[in-house]
Amino acid sequence: VKWQILPGISTVYDGMPFGERMQAIALPAAALTLVVLAHMMRMTRAAILNVMQSAYVETAELKGLSAFNVIRKHAFPNAIAPIINVVMLNLAYLIVGVVVVEVIFVYPGMGQYLVDHVTKRDVPVVQAVGLIFA
């Protein structure tokens, strides 16, 4: 706030220049991304290392394939299932996390709408937004 590098409130409106729009959404996007990035990277690494211990990977290495080609052609296709599982779980976490980010950065969206109607005790709207999030 003191350095005024990025805005603390991420209001986006029609006709806003592209550069300002990117500045406005930089902090909310970073907050949502950095929360799940470490978990996804760790699980991807674990899945790749698990597959790298397989016999077919060792055979590919003994054939003389480069390390990049071994990972690209043999390890990654077989490690993609647990990686997709982690990505889907993190997407569910992001849907819930967007509520907090929208409230903090005063961004008008479904999360802010949900919080506004929880304070008004508008049960049908809260149920509808919960259904959409689910």
pLDDT in tens, 104-124: 888 888 888 999 999 999 999
When pLDDT is averaged across residues 30-41 and rounded to a whole number, the result is 87
Could you tell me the CA-to-CA distances from 33 to 4, 45, 128 in Å, in that order? 22, 18, 26
Which residue blocks in the chain are alpha helix, DSSP H? 18-52, 55-62, 67-70, 76-104, 110-119, 123-133
User: How confident is the model at residue 86, as a pLDDT?
Assistant: 87
Q: Between these two residues, 119 and 97, which has the higher pLDDT value?
A: 119
Q: How far is 33 from 120, CA to CA, in rounded Å?
A: 31
pLDDT band at residue 102 using 50, 70 and 90 as cut-offs = confident
Q: What span, in angstroms and rounded, lies between the C-alpha atoms of 75 and 48?
A: 6
CA distances from 2 to 6, 8, 30, 111 (A): 10, 10, 19, 27
Residue type, 119: T
* Helix 110-119, helix 76-104: angle, nearest 10: 50
Segment 45-86, tens digit of pLDDT: 999 999 989 899 999 999 999 989 998 988 889 889 988 998
